[in-house]
Each structure stands twice: as structure tokens, then as C-alpha cells.
Amino acid sequence: MITGQVLGSVWATRKVADLSGMKFMLVGCPDPLETSRITTLVAVDFVGAGKGDTVLIAKGRLARKAMAMPGAPVDATIVGIIDEREAI
């Protein structure tokens, strides 16, 4: 899993039937090895995340498993909203 910050929403009026009714969010994910570099990705949101929220993201097969839709064309799913982080 990775963490990221929700940058905003993404709308798609035309999409495959498996994605109908899903909410898409644009998420910025910092590179853990190069802190100045941020990768953006589109993730399906099932937890009600909003702009500015720090989120926990599952990718690949685990993203589809979290949705209970193993055949869906999804690579990233928001599975949690992070309330607090503690430095180690």
C-alpha cells in the first residue's frame, strides 16, 4: 500500500460498464526516495475521501480485491483516510 493526498475529483461520462457509479479521485503520491517528485494517479474511492485528505491506497490485484470486483479494470483503490501519522 502507498499513501497520497487527494488533489481533486475526476469525471468520466463515458466508461466501461464495470466502472459505472464509481467515484474517481486524482491523488498525488510522493516518491519515497526522491521527496521532491510527486506521481499522480487516479484511484477509485469507496471511503468518501475529499480534496486535501491523506489517503491509503491499494494497487493492482489488491485494489480490485478491496472492491470485491476481481475483474474490474482498476489499478488503484482508496481504502482508508489517514487521520494522523507518527514519525519513527
Can you give the pLDDT at residue 3? 93
pLDDT of residue 83: 94
Tell me, yes or no, whether 40 lies in a domain: yes
The pLDDT score that the predictor gives to residue 6 is: 97
Q: Is 88 domain-assigned?
A: no
The answer to whether 7 and 40 have CB atoms below 8 angstroms apart is: yes
Give pTM, 2 decimals: 0.86
| Domain CATH code at residue 24 | 2.40.50.220
Contact (Cβ atoms closer than 8 angstroms) between residue 50 and residue 6: yes
* Residues of the domain holding 46: 2-81
pLDDT averages per 10-residue partition of the chain, 88 residues:
94 86 92 79 94 94 79 90 87
Residue 28 lies in a domain: yes
Structure letter (DSSP) for residue 3: E
- Per the structure, the count of domains in the chain is 1
